[in-house]
Structure formats: C-alpha cells, structure tokens
Amino acid sequence: MQSSGLAIIPSVGTDCNNNICLLAKNLHKREINVVRYTMNRSDIDEQISFLNNLQEHYHIVAKRDLRLWLDLSWPKDKIRLEMSEYPVALEKGEVIFITNDATIKKDSIRNAYMKFNFRDLKSPCFMVGESLMVRPIEANDDYMLAECLNSDIIKSSKAVSSIDNYIEQSSQEIEERAMKLIHDVKVELCILSYIESRDDYIKSTAKIQKFSTGMMFMSKIESFKGFLNRKEIIDISDSIMIPRGCLALNLGISYFWGVQNTILRDCILNNRKVYLASNILRSLDKSIIPSRTDIGDLANFVSRGVSDVILTNAFNTKNMDALDRYYIYIHNIYELYHDRDFVQSDDYDSCKLY
C-alpha cells in the first residue's frame, strides 16, 4: 500500500490480542511491514507477549520481519494534576486550590495536587487534559488558586499542558518498564518523548543502548523548550516526530501552525526525516469521507515537503476497513500535491482528479 516517496506508519494496540494471527495476515495483505506501538500502563509482560506473538505470526505469513517502532512515555512526560476525589464536576468560574504538598488542604474548596513550583508560572492559563482550561489567580512556592474557565468532569488524573513547561523526568517505574520492553522485544526504532535538548537525547539513547544496540531513535519535539532547542535536537536525532496534539496544547493553539511549519522547515533544510503525527484524517473514524478541514490540513503539509505520516490511532482486526480509507486519501493527496505549488502555477488542468 506504500507508494514511491510516501511512508504511512499505522499504530497497533493490544486490544487485538485475541486475533493476532488475523492482524498479521491483514497487515501483510496491505503490504504493511512497519508498525508503531505505544507502551501503556497495562501489564508489561502482556505487552511483550503481544508484540513477540505479532512479529512471529507476521514472519510466518509474510516470510519477512515486521519492523517495530516503539513509542515510549520516556525519558520525560507531562506533570499530572491529581484531584482529592473522583469523579469531580467542576463548574465554570469555580476556584480550586492546587498545592505541591499533598498534606496541605483547604476547607470549603476543591483540593488538588501537582508537582510544580508555582512561582515559575508565566502563562495566563493552562490546560488540564484536553478539555479543561484553568487560569491562575494567586500563586506562591507551595500552592496556587486557579479559576476554571469552563465546566468539565474530571474522572482521573490529567496531564497539564502550557508554555510554562509542565514537564518532568518519567518515573523510575516507567523507565524500568521501558527498558524491559526494549530488552525482550525486537525493536527497530525507539520514539523518545519530550526531548528538549541535545543532552536529553544523548543520555536517554545511552541508557537504551545498554539493553539493545543498533537501534535508531526518533525525537519528539513537543514542548516550548524543545522548540527553542529544535536545531540541536534535529542535528543529533535519526529522525523527528511532530506530535501535533501535544505541541498544540503545550505551545497554544494560536501558535501551533507557525511552530509546526518551523520545525518542518528546519528538518527539511537539515535533510532530516520528519514524521507528521496525531489526528491525521480523524474525521474518517466516523465517516467514509474526510472533512474538508482534514483534507486541507494534510494537503498543506504534503505541499510543504512531508512524505512521512504516523497514524496515531490504534488499528486492529475490527477497523482495518478504516485503515484502507486512510491509505486511499493520504495516497491521493500525496500524488496531487507533493511536488506542486498551485499558488505559483496556473496549470490546474494537468492535475488528474479522477
């Protein structure tokens, strides 16, 4: 299903654990020989078993190896906001008390915990998860009072996103799980989260190479600090991922378009492979035809030089038809726009539409 110059990397998930043989056959039928898998919080031995079985079944049906790209929530991840109780319904205008000391509580107000020095706040607001916007109204070293700018129901801990860089080192537990997965599964490429400097890349790759050698590394640029240091990250990495969802939340949706295009430009100028990820043609999940917005979004990037796409929603034996639709539209857009500047050309008639 790949065409010359175009690479589309689908993601797979353990929800297809009971149909591994059928999944392997479906991947081979579609001429897919590289997939992305994201390490999650489920039992690590079950994840290892799933990936090894998938690669084994694929080799049986395809007579070649299934190349695995492993996406890690490591070496860094977002700081999370922990509410004192769940679920909690927050109303627009409600003020919550957020502390970095879990022993501190405030009566007659919602309490929450977040590991952060609140004096470092610069942004006028931040996102909790993907649907709650919060505005700080008072802050010191130990706590912050913040106003909810919209209503939302919080059912579990949520990642916090802002230009203030709510980023921390991944826990020791996550690092151990990641290293075990790398050691026990045949991995071609590791995708590293929240790489913010050359030093981040060197330290994290050195740790991985103690468990497995000969591996390639892809850096995600998804924070403000990472964006500022993008050139040194691009220079040292084997390839770059632009994870558009996290990038938009961390840097602000208003700056998103310019930021991602800047990263893309610098990768192309440095002759570095760059992969576009997150919410590519997601309207196809609910329709057989993508939205005009999705098509315009994809065409914009293809015309700017993108030829590598990672589909971040996980595919399994139940939604392979949807994967076929993704491939059809991505291929069509690529063929139409990858080597063409319609702004500078009046030769529309030579473009084969059907």
Return d(Cα 287, Cα 279) in angstroms, integer: 14
To the nearest 10 degrees (0 to 180), the angle between helices 320-337 and 292-303 is 50
Q: How much is the average pLDDT of 49-64?
A: 96
Phi/psi class of residue 279: alpha, beta or left (left: φ > 0; alpha: ψ in -120 to 50)?
left
Which stretch of 155-169, 215-229, 307-321 has the lowest confidence by average pLDDT? Answer: 307-321
Phi, psi dihedral angles at 126 (to 5 degrees): -145, 165
For residues 230 and 263, the answer to whether their CB atoms sit within 8 Å is yes
Q: Residue 229 has which token pair?
A: 């240091």
Phi/psi class of residue 34: alpha, beta or left (left: φ > 0; alpha: ψ in -120 to 50)?
beta
Is 10 a residue whose pLDDT tops 60?
A: yes
Q: Got the DSSP string for 65-122?
A: PPEEEEEEEEEEEE-EEEESSSSEEEPTT-EEEEESSTT---TTSEEEE--S-GGG--
Q: Which helix (H) or strand (E) holds 51?
A: helix 44-62
- In 3D space, the residue among 58, 70, 75 whose CA is nearest the CA of residue 22 turns out to be 58
pLDDT confidence tier of residue 341, bands split at 50, 70 and 90:
low
Q: How much is the average pLDDT of 138-167?
A: 93
Return d(Cα 179, Cα 70) in angstroms, integer: 11
> In whole angstroms, how far apart are CA 238 and each of 13, 41, 66?
25, 27, 20
For residues 200 and 75, the answer to whether their CB atoms sit within 8 Å is yes
Q: Residue 280 has which token pair?
A: 């590519």
- Mean pLDDT estimate for the chain: 89
**Of the spans 72-81, 191-200, 273-282, which averages the highest pLDDT?**
191-200
For residues 235 and 269, the answer to whether their CB atoms sit within 8 Å is no
Q: Report percent pLDDT > 90 for the chain.
A: 64
Is 70 a residue whose pLDDT tops 70?
A: yes
For residues 88 and 148, the answer to whether their CB atoms sit within 8 Å is no
* C-alpha gyration radius of the chain: 22
pLDDT of res. 1: 55
Return d(Cα 2, Cα 7) in angstroms, integer: 6
Q: What is the identity of the amino acid at 84?
A: S
Q: Residue 200 has which token pair?
A: 């981040």
Is 256 a residue whose pLDDT tops 90?
A: no
Q: Bigger pLDDT: 232 or 350?
A: 232
Is 156 a residue whose pLDDT tops 50?
A: yes
For residues 144 and 118, the answer to whether their CB atoms sit within 8 Å is yes
pLDDT of res. 318: 77
pLDDT of res. 254: 85
Q: Other CB atoms closer than 10 Å to residue 34's CB: what's the count?
A: 17
Bridging pattern class, strands 308-315 and 88-90: unpaired
- The residues that bridge with 9 in the sheet, in sequence order, are 310
Please name each of the domains of the chain with its CATH number. 7-76+171-337 (3.20.20.60), 80-165 (2.40.33.10)
Distance of CA 337 to the CA centre of its chain: 25
Q: What is the pLDDT of residues 276-328, one digit of tens each?
A: 987 788 888 888 899 999 999 888 888 888 888 999 888 877 788 888 889 99
